[in-house]
């Protein structure tokens, strides 16, 4: 009896640090966000507004805006396109890079990996500035000046402001895709490296091509890692806005079609009239959608199978 009791405490002691972190940094802010969405909090005046309650008024305002404001509808559409397309770039791009670097020698591998890691290592403002000047809509822009010199265009093009909505979508997906692809590359590269070399050698002896090795040996072995990268990136993209914020605020891309929902939440809270109550309602909606999408992804990718205990006969 005593042994069982102390075993239970040992388990709690082991889990406690992680649980405390989860509760303090995830659960409490979530509860505060939901609570704030029922208050008229604005202009950071917590002392004045935090204890007043307005019921569902913020949700009413939010759904009224979604139903009537063309910009908010554009934000909705942008979020779907941005998350889906960038996710494909991040996961597929990361997988392709991981596979390519597996087949090259170590030195080339580390050089290539470092180059792809640069966007993640660069400070956000510096990285944003690079693409600001690259896509700038005047002749000052790198892309425009190259195309003008090659005679492909006869006037500078505002890439993120013209060809609405595809122009702004292309720019934000490109910029965020480059940042995210390195994450997939690192996780999947290390997963591939952990596959016993004998598998690949045996496949080579049997005459398998590189493509067959990828398809039949490597990818099946790292499917759980691919699932992890997909789910992680999906949830990250839903809540990421830092790079996009800079591109929109510098007017490189169109405000409506360059604003994903997370940036819209930020705008509500930190610009204009600083409506933190409304922002909290929009944030709560994002959490709900994120949670649902996360669960759906895990189900589609077979998370249940990963959690099944090993049969013990291997």
Partner 1 sequence: MRRWLLVALLGVTLLLFAGIEDSIVQVGRTLEKNGVNEVRYAVWGTGDPNSVLRVLGIVEAARRINEIWAKNGINVKVTIRETRYELDFTQMYQEFLSKQPLGTAGDFLVNSYVYIAPLAEEGYLLDLTSYLEKHKELLNNFFASHIEVAKYKGRIYGLPQDTEARPFYIRKDIAAKVGLDLQGLDEKVLKGEFTWFDVYEWAKKAVQTGASEWGLIHRRGSAHPDLMQFILAFGSKLYDPADGKLVFDKEAIYKWLTIEWTFAREKLLPSDMMAWDWAKQVHPAIVDGKTLFDIGGTWYWTEWQTKDYYTDPKTGQMRGLKPEEVEQWFYYTLFPAGEPGKKPVTLSQPFMWMVSSKAGAQNPKYSALKSVYDELAFLIVAKASDPDINAIHSIISAHLPVGKPSAELLASKEWLDKLYNLQIDLDPGVKEKIAGIVKATVNPINAAFLSKVSYMLEYTNFPPVHPMYAKLSAIFAEVVDYVLRGQMDPAKAIDYAIGKINADLDLKAGVKIINDIPKDWRFGGK
Task: Give the interface with partner 1 as residue ranges (CB under 8 A).
Answer: 43-48, 60-61, 64-65, 67-72, 137-138, 140, 158, 161-162, 164, 251-252, 255, 270-275
**Least CB distance from residue 57 to partner 1, whole Å?**
9
Straight-line distance from the first to the last Cα atom of the chain, in angstroms, rounded to the nearest whole number: 34
**Least CB distance from residue 160 to partner 1, whole Å?**
9
DSSP letter for 310, please: P
Q: Which is nearer to partner 1, 227 or 269 (CB)?
A: 269
Query: Is 252 within 8 Å of 171 (Cβ atoms)?
Result: yes
Q: Which is nearer to partner 1, 227 or 279 (CB)?
A: 279
Residues 3-17 as b/e (b if ≥16 CB within 10 A, e otherwise) read eeeeeeeeeeeeeee
Q: Which is nearer to partner 1, 140 or 202 (CB)?
A: 140
**Least CB distance from residue 72 to partner 1, whole Å?**
7
**Least CB distance from residue 21 to partner 1, whole Å?**
25
3-state DSSP assignment of residue 1: coil
**Least CB distance from residue 74 to partner 1, whole Å?**
11
What is the residue-wise DSSP string for 269-290? HHSTT--HHHHHHHHHHHHHHH
Q: Which is nearer to partner 1, 61 or 120 (CB)?
A: 61
Tokens 């800079």 appear where? 246
Q: Which is nearer to partner 1, 102 or 245 (CB)?
A: 245
Distances (CA, A) of 20 to 16, 166, 238, 242: 6, 44, 25, 28
3-state DSSP assignment of residue 263: helix
């Amino acid at each position: 009896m005593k042994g069982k009791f102390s075993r239970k405490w040992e388990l709690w002691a082991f889990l406690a640090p992680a649980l405390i972190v989860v509760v303090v940094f995830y659960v409490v802010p979530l509860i505060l966000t939901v609570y704030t969405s029922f208050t008229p909090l604005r202009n950071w005046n917590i002392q004045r507004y935090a204890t007043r309650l307005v019921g569902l008024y913020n949700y009413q305002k939010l759904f009224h805006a979604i139903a009537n404001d063309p910009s908010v509808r554009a934000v909705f559409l942008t979020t779907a396109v941005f998350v889906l397309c960038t996710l494909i770039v991040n996961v597929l791009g990361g997988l392709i890079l991981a596979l390519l670097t597996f087949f090259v020698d170590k030195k080339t591998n580390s050089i290539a990996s470092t180059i792809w890691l640069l966007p993640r290592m660069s400070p956000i403002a510096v990285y944003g500035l690079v693409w600001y000047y690259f896509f700038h809509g005047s002749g000052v822009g790198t892309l425009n000046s190259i195309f003008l010199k090659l005679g492909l265009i006869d006037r500078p093009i505002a890439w993120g402001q013209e060809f609405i909505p595809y122009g702004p979508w292309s720019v934000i997906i490109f910029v965020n895709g480059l940042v995210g692809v390195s994450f997939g590359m690192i996780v999947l590269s290390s997963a591939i490296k952990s596959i016993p070399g004998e598998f690949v050698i045996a496949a080579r002896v049997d005459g398998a091509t590189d493509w067959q090795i990828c398809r039949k040996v490597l990818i099946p072995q790292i499917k759980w890692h691919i699932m992890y990268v997909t789910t992680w990136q999906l949830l990250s993209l839903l809540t990421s806005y830092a790079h996009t914020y800079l591109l929109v605020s510098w007017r490189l891309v169109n405000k409506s079609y360059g604003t994903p929902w997370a940036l819209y939440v930020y705008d509500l809270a930190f610009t204009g009239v600083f409506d933190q109550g409304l922002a909290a309602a929009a944030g709560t909606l994002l959490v709900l959608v994120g949670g649902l999408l996360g669960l759906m992804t895990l189900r589609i990718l077979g998370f249940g199978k990963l959690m099944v205990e090993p049969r013990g006969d291997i």
